[in-house]
C-alpha cells in the first residue's frame, strides 16, 4: 500500500504536466530523473497550497483585529462624549452660581452674598484703588450704604464667559459684565467691567475665594 501511494502521486503529477502521456505511458517506463522532477513539482504545489491556506488564516485574524480595534475606538469616542457632556454641565453650574452672585449684588442682598463668599475672600477692584482687599467688611460698606437703598431697576448681562475647571472642587470664570441702570437723574446708564472669579466648592457648596474686577469704579458693581 505504501509503494502504491507514490505511484498514484506521480501519476497525478504526470497528468498535470501531460495528460496524454500519463494515460498512454505506464509509470514504470518513466525515467528516474523524470520521477524525481515530478515529485519535486508536486511538493512545490503542495507547499504553495499550504502557504496560501496559512496566509488566508492570517488575513482572517488580521481582519478580526481590525474589527476589534474599531470597537475599541468607538468605545473611546463614547467615553470622550460622556466626559464632554459632564464638563459642559459643570461649566453651566459655574455660570449659574455667578449669575446668582451678581443678582445678590444688584438686589443689595448682603446675606445671600456672604453665603456665596469665603469669609477670607480676596479681591482686586477699582474701589480698592489697587489694594488687595481681604474679607467681607470692605464690601459690606457698599451694600449697606448704596445697593440696598437702590430702588431703580438694574439689569446685568454676562458676556463671553470662559471657564477653567480645576478638578472637581475649583473653577475659574472670566467674562465681561454689562450693567444697565438708572442714575439719580432718571437717565439710563450702561457700565462695563471685566471680571475674573475663582470658585471653590466646600461641603457641596460653591464659594468665591478671589475675584478681580477691572474698569472704572461704578456705583452698581462689586
76 located within any domain: no
H, E, C per residue of 113-128: HHHCEEEEEEEECHHH
Band (220; pLDDT cuts 50, 70, 90): low
220, exposed or middle or buried, with CB in 10 Å at 0-12, 13-18, 19+?
Answer: buried
59 and 105 share one domain: no
Looking at residue 45, its pLDDT comes to 66
Model confidence at 66: pLDDT above 70: no
Looking at residue 12, its pLDDT comes to 55
pLDDT digits (tens, 9 = 90+) for 67-79: 344 444 434 444 5
Q: Mean pLDDT for the chain?
A: 77
| C-alpha pair distances (Å), 49 with each of 14, 43, 45, 58 | 18, 10, 6, 14
Task: For residue 47, report the phi and psi dihedrals to the nearest 5 degrees.
Answer: -60, -40
pLDDT digits (tens, 9 = 90+) for 205-214: 999 999 999 9
What length does the chain have?
A: 222
List all residues 6 or more positions away from 153 whose beta carbon is below 8 Å from its beta carbon: 181, 182
Looking at residue 222, its pLDDT comes to 54
* Cell numbers given for 78: 463614547
108 and 154 share one domain: yes
101 and 174 share one domain: yes
User: For the chain, what is the domain count?
Assistant: 2
22 and 129 share one domain: no
Domain limits for position 29: 4-65
Question: What is the rounded average pLDDT of the residues 105-117?
Answer: 93
Band (106; pLDDT cuts 50, 70, 90): confident
Looking at residue 215, its pLDDT comes to 80
78 located within any domain: no
207 located within any domain: yes
Looking at residue 88, its pLDDT comes to 93
CB 101 within 8 A of CB 208: yes
Looking at residue 152, its pLDDT comes to 77
Question: What CATH number corresponds to the domain at position 146?
Answer: 3.10.450.50
Question: What is the rounded average pLDDT of the residues 80-95?
Answer: 84
Band (183; pLDDT cuts 50, 70, 90): confident
Looking at residue 52, its pLDDT comes to 65
Model confidence at 20: pLDDT above 80: no
Cα 174 from Cα 92, distance rounded (Å): 13
79 located within any domain: no
174 located within any domain: yes
* Cell numbers given for 2: 505504501
Question: What is the rounded average pLDDT of the residues 32-47?
Answer: 67
Model confidence at 25: pLDDT above 80: no
Amino acid at each position: 500500500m505504501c509503494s502504491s501511494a507514490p505511484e498514484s502521486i506521480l501519476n497525478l503529477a504526470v497528468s498535470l504536466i501531460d495528460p496524454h502521456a500519463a494515460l498512454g505511458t505506464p509509470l514504470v517506463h518513466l525515467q528516474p530523473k523524470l520521477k524525481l522532477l515530478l515529485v519535486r513539482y508536486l511538493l512545490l504545489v503542495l507547499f504553495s497550497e499550504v502557504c496560501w491556506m496559512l496566509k488566508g488564516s492570517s488575513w482572517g485574524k488580521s481582519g478580526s483585529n481590525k474589527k476589534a480595534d474599531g470597537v475599541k475606538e468607538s468605545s473611546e469616542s463614547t467615553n470622550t462624549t460622556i466626559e464632554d457632556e459632564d464638563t459642559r454641565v459643570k461649566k453651566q453650574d459655574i455660570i449659574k452660581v455667578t449669575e446668582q452672585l451678581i443678582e445678590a449684588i444688584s438686589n443689595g442682598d448682603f446675606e445671600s452674598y456672604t453665603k456665596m463668599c469665603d469669609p477670607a475672600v480676596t479681591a482686586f477692584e477699582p474701589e480698592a484703588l489697587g489694594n488687595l482687599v481681604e474679607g467681607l467688611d470692605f464690601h459690606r460698606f457698599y451694600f449697606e450704604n448704596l445697593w440696598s437703598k437702590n430702588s431703580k431697576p438694574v439689569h446685568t448681562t454676562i458676556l463671553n464667559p470662559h471657564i477653567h475647571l480645576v478638578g472637581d472642587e475649583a473653577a475659574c470664570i472670566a467674562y465681561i459684565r454689562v450693567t444697565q441702570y438708572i442714575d439719580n437723574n432718571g437717565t439710563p446708564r450702561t457700565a462695563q467691567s471685566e471680571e475674573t472669579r475663582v470658585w471653590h466648592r466646600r461641603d457641596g457648596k460653591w464659594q468665591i475665594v478671589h475675584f478681580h474686577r477691572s474698569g472704572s469704579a461704578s456705583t452698581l458693581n462689586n
